[in-house]
Amino acid sequence: MQTQALQIYAGKTALKAIQDKGFTADMFSAFMGASGGPKWFVLSGLDKIMFSEFFAKAEQKIDIIGTSAGAFRSACFAQTDTKTAIERLADKYSTTIYSEKPSAREITQKSRDLLNHVLDEAGTHQLLSNNKRAVHIIASRCHGLMKSENRIVQLAGLGLANLRNLRSRKALEKSFTRSVFYSGDIPLNFDEKPHISTEYIKLSNKNVHDALVASGSIPIIIEGISDIAGASKGVFRDGGILDYHFDMKINTERLVLYPHFFKTPIPGWFDKHLKHRICRQDNYDNVVLLAPSDEFVASLPYGKISDRKDFTRMPPAQRIPYWQQVIQESERLAESFFAQIESENIANFVQAIDLKR
C-alpha cells in the first residue's frame, strides 16, 4: 500500500460502505473532534477544507461533537466562513504567550480571549441558528473534591478519580457527570458500555462561551467554570476527562467522520497510561478515522506533533515558529485526503480500524 501523509481507517460498517460506494460527503452525518490541545495543529490544514470544501455542498444535517480543542473546532465549523474561523483559532492559539509562571486565572483569561477572538457575536449567532451543523460541546460537571479550586484539594480529587477509574470507567461518575451542551433541536444520541451519567443542556447566547471554556478547563491548569446558565448548579471542567478520544457508539443516520492526531483513540483522560483500557471495537463500526501517517509525523520539526508540554519545554521564540511550521505542514494532510478520496481505487487506501494499543 502506498504511503500517504494521511492514513484512512474505517470500522466494519464504514469500510463496506466505502468499498461499495466510494468516499463522498453525503455518506456522513456526524463529525467528532477530540481533546488534545496543541496536538490539534497537525489537523488544522485538514480542518480548513472539511466544511469549506468537502462538506460545502452536503445537504444533510451533520452533528459535530467536540471536547476541549475539539469543542473550539466545532465552534468554527458551525460558522458561515469555517476556513477563516479555523485560521483565526490556529493563529491566535499558536501565538499565545503566558508569563513565566502563569496562574490558573491567567490561563483561564487567555482561554476566554482566544474564544472571543474565534467566536464573536456574529459567529455565536451563526452557531446557534445553523440548522445544518448541530454542535455538541461536552464538559464534565464535578462532584466532591473536584469542585474545589484549592490546588491541594483538587489534586486529592484527581487522585481519587484516578483510583475510581482503575476500578472501572463507570466509577468515574462519582466524580463527574458528563454534560452535553447542544444546539439544534435534538441532543446527541449515543450508546456506551458501561454507561456514564449524562445530562443535556441547550446552548444559548447566555451559556455558549462558558460551555466552550469549560470543555477545555484542564484540572489544576485552568479554573473550573461555575454555574453555567441553563445547567445544573456546579463547577464544570474539561470534557476530555470522561471523553478524551471517545468510547461511545454515535447513533446517527449515516457514518461518522473523525479526524484524529493518532490512529488509536484512548477512552478517557485517566486511561492514557492504562494500556489495557481500549475503546470498544463495535463503537467504531460506523466511523471513518483520519490520522497523520508515522512518516508524516517523523518529517515534522523534532519528529513529533505539537503538544501542551511545549509550553514549558520551549521558550516562545522557539515554540511559536515550531507550532506555525506544524500548521503549515498540515496542509499536506488536506492534499493527501483529496488525492485519496478522488482516486478510482479509494478502497485500496483504507485500512480497518484496529483499537489495540
User: What are the tens digits of pLDDT across the range 146-177?
Assistant: 999 999 999 999 999 999 999 999 999 999 99
- State residue 357's pLDDT score: 85
pTM for this model (two decimals): 0.96
User: For residues 188 and 181, what is the distance between their CA atoms, to the nearest angstrom?
Assistant: 9
Q: What are the tens digits of pLDDT across the range 202-238?
A: 999 999 999 999 999 999 999 999 999 999 999 999 9
Mean pLDDT in residue range 44-71 = 96
User: For residues 301 and 306, what is the distance between their CA atoms, to the nearest angstrom?
Assistant: 9
Give the start-to-end residue ranges of the domains of the chain: 6-352
Longest dimension (CA), the chain: 58
First CA to last CA across the chain, in angstroms?
A: 22
Residue 201 pLDDT exceeds 80: yes
Q: What are the tens digits of pLDDT across the range 18-48?
A: 999 999 999 999 999 999 999 999 999 999 9
Secondary structure of 242-274 as H, E, C letters: CCCCCCCEECCCCEEEEECCCCCCCCCHHHCCC
How does 16-42 read in b/e, with b if 16+ C-beta sit within 10 Å? ebbeeeebebebbbbbbbbbbbbbbbb
Residue 351 pLDDT exceeds 60: yes
- Alpha helices (H) along the chain: 12-21, 44-49, 69-77, 82-94, 104-118, 121-129, 151-167, 208-215, 294-299, 310-313, 316-329, 331-341
Residue 2 pLDDT exceeds 80: no
